[in-house]
Structure 1
Amino acid sequence: MFRITKEFHFSASHRLDHLPEDHQCHRLHGHNYIVVVELSGETLNQDGFVRDYHDLKALKTYIDDHFDHRHLNDILGHSFTTAENLARHFYDWCRERFPETSAVRVSETPKTWAEYRP
């Protein structure tokens, strides 16, 4: 199995309104997010790639246009704007466009990661 990954960055705010008011994530706050998309294949295409990294520019454009310096609760339309739900959101978006997508990881801080892998 061949695997490739590409990393993307954005900054955004959010609130986890469903948590108790004394929970730090209930308050409005922000993160410098890192999104890593993983694509896998048992074979390579005619150019020797799982997929050309250049194709993934569409994900960068999507993130820049819809997520960077935005409020995630407004974008995703719910209060569960957790890293786990972001990983699933980006996985679904990528999988529609890049069938080789096998996982997406999202980091909110240098020490925390969430991953969606079906």
Structure 2
Amino acid sequence: MYRITKEFHFSASHQLAHLPADHQCARLHGHNYIVVVELAAPTLDSDGFVRDYGELKALKTYIDDTFDHRHLNDVLDVHSTGENMARHFYDWCRARWPETTAVKVSETPKTWAEYRP
């Protein structure tokens, strides 16, 4: 199996107001997010790619236009956890690129959430 990944960055605020008031994530705060999309295929296309990296620019445009420097509570219909964002980006990518196998989201240098069906 061939696998490729591409990394994207954005900054945004969010608040997990459903958590207890003394929980640090219940307060308004922000992160410098990293999103990594993974695509895989058992064979390569005629150009020798799983998918041309240039085609993934659509995800950068989507992130820049919809998420970058936004308040995620206003953008997502679910709690703006890393787990829910990973699933959101996975669904978005999979609808465009059937080779999508996973998406990872980082909120901090030491934390990652991944959605992989």
TM-score for both structures, normalised by structure 2: 0.99
Q: 2:58 is matched with which residue?
A: 58
- Deviations along 1:6-56, one digit per CA (max 9) or x if unpaired, are 000000000001100000000000000000000000000000000000000
Q: 1:41 is matched with which residue?
A: 41
Letter in 1 for 2:22: D
- What is the distance in 2 between the residues matched to 1:51 and 1:45? 8
Query: Identity of counterpart residues, as a percentage?
Result: 79
How far has the Cα of 1:95 moved from its partner? 0.1
Secondary structure of residue in 2 paired with 1:76? coil
Extract structure 1 runs of 4+ deviating beyond 6 A.
Answer: none
Q: 2:110 is matched with which residue?
A: 111
- What is the distance in 2 between the residues matched to 1:20 and 1:84? 19
Q: Which runs of 5+ in 2 are unaligned?
A: none
How far has the Cα of 1:77 moved from its partner? 3.0
- Please provide the CA RMSD for this pair: 0.5
Alignment of 1:64-83 (within 5 A): 64-78=64-78, 80-83=79-82
- Deviations along 1:91-118, one digit per CA (max 9) or x if unpaired, are 0000000000000000000000000000
Letter in 2 for 1:117: R
